[in-house]
Structure 1
Amino acid sequence: MSVPTLPDITAKTIITDRLSTRVLFAGPDDGVPVLFVHGNASSATFWEDVMLALPEGFRGIAPDLRGYGGADRAAKIDARRGMRDFSDDLRALLDTLGIDKAHVVGHSLGGAVIWQMMMDIPERLITVTQVDPGSPFGFGGSKGLDGQPTQPDFAGSGGGTVNPDFARLMGEGNRAADNPQASPRIVMNSFYWKPPFVPAREEDLLSSLLSEHVGPEQYPGDFVPSENWPNVAPGVWGPINAMSAKYAAPVEGLYAADPKPPVLWVRGSDDQIVSDMSLFDFGTLGKLGAVPGYPGEDVFPPQPMVSQTRAVLEQYAARGGSFREEVIEGTGHTPYIEKPAEFNALLHAHLQRGA
């Protein structure tokens, strides 16, 4: 699926030793690089307006990740590596572009990728900006501020937790709004931003969502049956399995990072996807009575995603790093699209402090 780009955004196919993919560029070729990493069910398209608004002297770079958009469809995500396939791909992209160091900005799943980059290549990151990132302990399958497993096999996370009708409609390229539980357009407008907000580029952003690679080894990925509630455990393929707590890298890697790039953490005040009561987490759904057989909050509480991130960043700061938490009021999961002026002011100040 071809997604249009805004004027002054250049799209190129970049081939590295790991991946061929579409990469968007904005700003001068010799500008200070800012690498943007998109989230799940989206692509580099989501970052275009932010890239065009960068201060003078900065160069925006936004690739489609493995499994998304214009990336080679033959390149699969080995979920057993957690976020490492993505991190290695981005390191290869920087190498291919001849970039030694870059600012990095990640959203949602892209934020989870950046946690991994902070462990793998901290010396190449000038600053880090996290926007409603996935918890450092993964998405689903953990509890408490220290990310302990909710079940021994991490049941309740991974590919089996995705609404199969949503994945099917995505794969069909469905643009309708006739299924209130699964239409990609309704899901996007209900959860990506806080209703009743609808972005001016709704159609392009929906095309971006629909460009994710769908299949049993892509999105949503495979799963295995489990004796533990809710009776599905992670498989080994695709981004949702890769995000499971089962495959998350130990957070001690963040605390040991050297150097420790400064972190700006921006989140929407009303995010329903990444929160301490995420409507995409089986702990929350069970507690609300939406999934039968719930074993109780003592066994499977809602994952405290925001509180986990804060606890990890506090330890990161205690070990010599630094972070700032900023909340943009009245926004959902994508504040940089909902309130771009507020987001850009925070981002630009952070970039310039780190320049």
Structure 2
Amino acid sequence: MIDLVEQIVNDQLEATLVELGQPKFRAKQLREWIVQKRVDSFDEMTNLPKALREKLAESCRIWTTTIAKHTTADDGTEKLLVQLPDGGRIECVLLRDGDRRTICISSQVGCAMGCVFCASGLDGVDRNLTAGEISEQMLRLQMLLPEGERLSHIVVMGMGEPLANVDRLLKALNFATHESGLGISARRITISTVGLPPAIHKLAKLDTRFHLAVSLHAPNDELRTKIVPVNKTIGIEAILEAADHYFEVSGRRLTFEYVLLANLNDRPEHAQQLARLLKGRAALLNVIPYNPVPGLPYETPAVHAQQRFREILENYGITVKFRHRKGDKINAACGQLRRLSKENLVPLEGTTSAG
């Protein structure tokens, strides 16, 4: 079977249709039906000849993925559990905030970075997603919007380390930014990474202009290696050097992410070390009070500990923002996305399911 989204993302659709004996302009029609008009069956493509629709149904498929579960929360957040053709499962999220329609997408099945507090890496990494599988998440989340609404922002903060799958990710993001794709400005797309310097330098060399969010989670290498084990072979200094270079090339203000864990990285001395580390950089520090994950021993810091941490940073002149939780009631908040098997796919109270 020919996978049409994969063909679109890899700019192969026109050549494929010519091989099927069709004129080139059919590629544009197909793309419009799938991307702009958001259909998911060939029968709905009414400006295509019936014979062609039947031929496409026999030799092609729009989706390689299926929706195993669709969960909603009272704050408007929606989460999809996506079934991959080889049996793997990933999650992606639609967040509503005023006029914003932000999606959080995954780049791998699982994650190999080993962040101790994160559900996504509990079972390690299975494989990289293809460019089409990354893009299908975008299109499936777009289909949750009513007619007249469109996606406004993308954050690559779901399952996996995006820069460990950078080539396929960039193909998917090029589709997202292209006028014949989703038409989302690069400045509204954020790639979140634990910090892989070679891949960050590659983004700079390609002049991608996406926002970069570097997940620090600790102000020194000793503590960071405990929280983010992959740091042992990288080190904070190399990450900051690569991030600074990316800022110089792209002009995009950097964001540093810091998940605040009770009695682990939330002490006053940690805030002071972090402030000294970031002082002088044109950066935003995004502090995320820990979102609990069943089975993990970590806790959310008390409100007074969060306030103390923030005050110290602000006294040093650091631009800091504490992220408001969205989707935590349906395990769709930061750090809560995980690989779900059929055995532990249990419906949550007050949710809806599809598929």
**Is TM more than 0.5 here?**
no
TM-score by length of 2: 0.34
Structure 1 length as normaliser, TM-score? 0.34
The structure carrying a bigger helix percent of its residues is: 2
